[in-house]
Structure 1
Amino acid sequence: MSITSRQLRGTGRDRSPAIALTVGDQPAATTLPLAIGFGLLRALAATAAGLILACGVGVLIWAVTPGSPDAGALVRGAIAAFGAANFLPPSIDGIRVTATPLLLSAVCFGAVASAGNLRFGRRAPLPGMPAQLLVAVLTGVAYGAFTSAAVAALAPPGAAAERVERPIAFGVVAAVAGLTLRGKEFPRAFRSWAPPWLRGGLRAGAAASALIAAGGAITLTAGLVRSFGTATDLASTAPGFGDGVGMLLLGLAYLPNALVAGIGYSSGVGFLVGGGSYSPLGSAGAELPGLPLLAAVPTNAGVSWLGLLSTLFPLAAGLLAGWLLTRTTRSMTGRLLGAAVAAVVVAAVCALLAGVAGGGIEGSSWARLTVPWWSGLLLGGVVGVLAAAVGGVGVLTGRVGAAGGSGSSAAASHLTEPIAVVADEPAGGGDAPAAEPAESVEPAESAESAERVDADEPAELAADIEPADVESAAAAERPEPAEFAEGAEGPGVPDDTVAGADAKDGGDPAVAEDGDAAGGGGRHRRGRRRNR
């Protein structure tokens, strides 16, 4: 046994050590079969967690609804909703609901991403990125297979579509995302080969996408606040308390879908609900379902000035992306490439959100509840153009940013200024030969000109002197300690030692002056010899 990295972990006031022991000098190794087995167990645990959550919601609705005839029916309906969160559209009385509840999907995505993280407690991580990627893919496939089998066995007959490829694809994407974002080897390998403009473009695209999503959330919130009275009236139409709770849970489950609709609205393209279309430039209304969440849909037929304000969020996202690129990339070419990468990221994220949030209720007048996918292309183009413009302006005005900003150029200009070095007087106080002309960074400059520069230098230039220069100058002008003064002997130092040291210097005062002109090193060396 040997003690590993977590050896001494203080607990309490006495800091008593908590010893963690492992077998051997290294943590236990993780083989590929063992990692695959762990991945399958985690996939099964993620499926079980989703089923337990869905069944808990069903039991809650049954408990608060006194008129519910059977708890089993509600539980089976909740399992069908779990299948809908994994892109298995449920069927209710022959009517298929193709709109995915994205809030439940986000919960399932997080569970699968945690399963694909491939951390096995105190064991060493699985070596090699290909092996880790293989285990993550197998974990996602297992999650999709377990989910499809559970929904087919526990949901009402015919309630879930038999589309096993959808939950498998969902599980693979979630597991690989968990490995990529929360792992260590993939980010380290990416940073090792990716150029700065690619890393900066991805970072700028992610920040711009987050700002656009925040704009969609603010737009949705403003719509709900404006129509709060209508939303409360729709909520009051529920027959009982249990029905009201069910309506509330339904609104929460589809809240991210409404957020995506807000993103489409702020892009200027708008969104579709049944036969109606809604955008800041004009809306064509249609009959809507009686859900409180849909009260945020605008009702004006003309141009909405409040809606036009929401289009400022994509513009701000483009400016933010350009500003981030100016801080990470120096050249014009790098910034243009980074702007293109940011545009691709924004377009891909927004188009993907529009695709997964779409759907509707087949066989009814609300078969379309969606955002046009090409709104993502429009948002990506806006972000790319503005980011490139900001980056180009930054290059033209010389605002380089973190890659090589004005601070480094100021330091470089300070280093090019001549620094005069003035020789000190001899310690003995006697007459000494005239000192050599003081040297500076620039050759062929006399001591008189250096003194004139020192005398005429403005006081405000003193702020440019580095602290290290001030300390060295102060050390050179500091008076010599008494024990190192000329003619004084250190404690317990024989006279012959001092004489020998003077003999080595040759007794020439010019030698002492040369040493003092070099920074006072000669006197200190003589003092050290005397101490010896």
Structure 2
Amino acid sequence: MTDDSLSPAARLRALADRLRDRSPALAGCLFGGAVAAGLSLGAYAVVVMALWIGSPYPDSGPGGATGTAVSLWLLGHGVGLTRADTLTGVPAPLGLTPLLLALLPFWLVRRAARDAAEPETPEAPEIPARTVVWGVTGGYTAVGALAALYAAGGELRPTLREAAWHLPLLALAAALTGLRSVRGRVADVPSPAGPEGRFGGVRAALTGRRGATACRAGLAAALTLAGGGAVLVGVSLTLHWEPARASYLMLTDVWSGRLAVLLLALALLPNAVIWGAAYALGTGFQVGTDTLVTPLAATSGPALPPFPLLAAFPPDGPGTPLTWACAAIPVVAGITAGWFTGRAAAPDRSSGTGTDGAPPPWPASVTAGTAALAALVAGLVCAGAARAAGGPLGTGRLAELGPVWWAAGGAALAWTLLLGVPTALALRAWRLRTRKQRGAGAGGGRWAGAGLFGIAMTGTGLAVPGAADGGTDPVPGPGAEDEPRDATDADEPEDDDPERVDPLDWWERVSRPDPVAALGGSFGTSYDLYDQLPAHGPEDWRALPAEPQDPPGERPPGRG
């Protein structure tokens, strides 16, 4: 009996039974997500309350400090705030998110999902992945919704529309990473369109070997750009240490205020790293309306407000060779993406099961396509990071701060595409050539056992080096026995390498009375040059017949 034939009452009973079976696990996941949200909120509240208690000029009571803590917690999720109490009376937006504020909530949600995915005992049943992910996300989002409603009546009011999707998005990403840390690849979390729905092909492409390689290479390029941005921030702070120190001391003269400024600067360090990466890409960043700071030129306009990180910006004017040297960072990022792709396109023997111990290499077109997909991944990651690292700090001059997200993403895509694809193809070709040489020289190297003029004696025949695979092609000697060809040889694909030497052609040449000419030499026909070579079988070089002999296994009818 199917569900369609059941009565409405029977369907309700079946649904209630399924919910009863899943309710303990689902309730535990919901509770874990709610606890993660409460712990992160409590941590922010403790820090803000400590600073409020130590401040000699408290503007509001404990309720105001608690509302500020909740607003900062929402700001850490990317939710924009609006300050209603301003000098001009016009509400001022606060959309620049200190990215370090998102670290604690992300880690707590990830830990909650990991704990929910791990069974308490080996005999306990495993909770389905979808229950873990959606349960933890739902519990976290529920607490976040209550926090957004609480902060809506304070001085820093959150944008409820942004809170409706920023909170579950961060919780979902953290829950997926926590589940993956326990169970590896997340395979049973259904996509919005089902396993074979609208996104089935995209999901299959991204979870395959080539898709995983592209994602890994793109993320490696993005991380390389971030590392270069961190280096630029460190160098700039070192070169502008005195202005940064003076601006820090200028802001306040009490320890609670200086501690608050220091914590804010630390929370904005990831933003500065992304700004540095955008600077290295060449697109730069904005420090206000109608301003742009790039390696080629910097126009920051009027004096910026005193703040340590703002004091480390390059001065106005054209670029210098020191700023132009930042172009090395995206170059290294593009080469990194190509290196990851090229290694996967031609893996070594340790990961294969083929005849030579290595999996079959990718075609050149597939390698180039994977490198291009890696460039797309790097561009998307950089665009998203640039979008998250910027935002407004008011309605005036500071209404535009940070990189232009679409320009940073496009520059990352272009750099990685132009450098990653050639690097991947070159590395693939090099690894294939090295693999062939290793396979051909397994007996002692490419020229192992080579005689005069590079003619190696192998068994009863000659081996002439110089083939396309870097090895030697055996040539039967005159005394070699005729061996019939295997019937399966006809089914083998033909070698499309134009430089490969056919052993039958060499047999026709070496069976002629002039071995030097047969080997492509220009030393004449004197056989005395080959006195040091051993004889092949019972015959000597001088006793070779003048008439060419038939190769083994292909004697024409009527002969021999």
Which TM-score applies when normalising by structure 2? 0.64
**Equivalent residue in structure 1 for 2:33, among 43, 57, 63:** 43
The answer to whether 1:119 aligns with 2:149 is: no
Counterpart position of 1:98: 95
> Any idea what the Cα deviations from partners look like across 1:178-207, whole Å, max 9, x if unmatched?
334553242799999954433322222121
Q: Which amino acid counterpart does residue 148 of structure 1 have in structure 2? A: A
The aligned amino acid for 1:312 is A
1:88 to 2:79 alignment: yes
Aligned mate of 2:322, from 306, 313, 316: 306
Q: Which residue of 2 aligns with 1:214?
A: 227
User: Cα gap change, 1:194/1:219 in structure 2, threshold over 3 Å: closer, same or farther?
Assistant: same
Please name the residue that 2:215 is paired with: 202
Match of 1:263 in 2: 277
- Counterpart residue type for residue 263 of structure 1: A
Alignment of 1:39-438 (within 5 A): 39-68=29-58, 70-92=61-83, 93=85, 94-117=91-114, 118-123=116-121, 131-153=128-150, 157=154, 159-161=156-158, 162-163=160-161, 164-165=163-164, 166-180=166-180, 183-186=183-186, 194-237=207-250, 238-275=252-289, 276-286=291-301, 287-329=303-345, 330=361, 331-374=363-406, 375-396=408-429, 398-400=430-432, 404=435, 406-411=437-442, 418=458
Residues 1:133 and 1:418: Cα distance change in structure 2 (over 3 Å): farther
SS of residue in 1 equivalent to 2:156: coil
Letter in 1 for 2:214: G
Contact kept in structure 2, 1:234 and 1:290, CA below 8 Å: yes
Answer yes or no: is the 8 Å Cα contact 1:32–1:126 preserved in 2: no
| Contact 1:261–1:371, Cα closer than 8 Å, also in 2 | yes
Contact kept, 8 Å, 1:98 with 1:359, in 2: the verdict is yes
- Aligned residues of 1:318 and 1:384 also touching (Cα < 8 A): yes
What secondary structure sits across from 1:116 in the alignment? helix
Q: CA deviation at 1:270?
A: 0.4
Q: Distance in 2 between matches of 1:195 and 1:419?
A: 46
**Relative to structure 2, which stretch is displaced further, 225-234 or 161-170?**
161-170
- In 2: Cα distance, 1:393 partner to 1:194 partner: 25
Paired positions, count: 397
Question: Is the 1:209–1:346 contact (alpha carbons within 8 Å) kept by the matching residues of 2?
Answer: yes
Equivalent residues of 2:93, 2:393 under 8 A apart: yes
Separation in 1, partners of 2:433, 2:257:
57
- Are the counterparts in 1 of residues 279 and 285 from structure 2 also a CA contact under 8 Å? yes
Q: Distance in 2 between matches of 1:405 and 1:288?
A: 61
- Gap change, CA 1:340 and 1:32, over 3 Å in 2: farther
**Aligned ranges 1:485-504 → 2 under 5 Å:** none
Unpaired segments ≥5 residues, structure 2: 1-19, 86-90, 190-202, 346-360, 447-455, 461-473, 482-531, 535-560
Contact 1:322–1:386, Cα closer than 8 Å, also in 2: yes
- Shift in CA distance, 318/31, structure 1 to aligned 2, threshold 3 Å: farther
Deviation at 1:158, TM superposition (A): 5.5
How far has the Cα of 1:67 moved from its partner? 4.1
Match of 1:469 in 2: none
Deviations 1:131-167 (A, max 9, x none): 4135413422331221121243267536332233121
Measured at CA, do residues 183 and 82 of structure 1 come closer, stay the same or move farther in structure 2, by a change above 3 Å? same
Quote the Cα distance in structure 2 between the aligned partners of 1:211 and 1:193.
22
Alignment CA distance shift 1:441-1:186 (3 Å)? farther
Cα separation, 2, equivalents of 1:191 and 1:31: 31
1:192–1:270 Cα change, 3 Å: closer
- Max Rg structure: 1
Q: Given the superposition, is the C-alpha separation of residues 191 and 273 from structure 1 closer, same or farther in structure 2, using an over 3 Å criterion? A: same
Give the Cα separation in 2 of the matches to 1:409 and 1:133: 51
Name the SS of the counterpart of 1:298 in structure 2. coil
Q: Pick closer, same or farther for the CA change 1:66–1:418 going to 2, 3 Å.
A: same
Distance change (3 Å), C-alpha of 1:158 and 1:167:
farther
RMSD: 3.5
Post-superposition CA distance 1:237-260 (Å, at most 9, x none)? 114221111111111122211111
Q: Percent identity?
A: 24
Q: Deviations over 1:55-84 (max 9, x none)?
A: 121123134334436454333312211111
Query: Using a 3 Å threshold, how does the CA distance of structure 1 residues 395 and 43 change in structure 2: closer, same or farther?
Result: closer
* Shift of residue 120, structure 1, vs aligned partner: 3.2
Deviations 1:311-361 (A, max 9, x none): 211111111221222221133123212201210110111001011112112
The superposition leaves residues 37-61 of structure 1 with CA deviations (integer Å, 9 ceiling, x where unpaired) of 2221111111111111101211231
1:387, CA displacement in angstroms? 1.4
- Cα distance change on mapping 1:175 and 1:371 into 2, 3 Å: same
CA distance in 2, matches of 1:192, 1:337: 12
> Could you tell me which residue of structure 1 aligns to residue 547 of structure 2?
none
Q: In 1, are the aligned partners of 2:34 and 2:136 still within 8 Å (CA)? A: no
Q: Distance in 1 between matches of 2:476 and 2:132?
A: 65
Inter-partner Cα distance in structure 1 for 2:131 and 2:228: 38
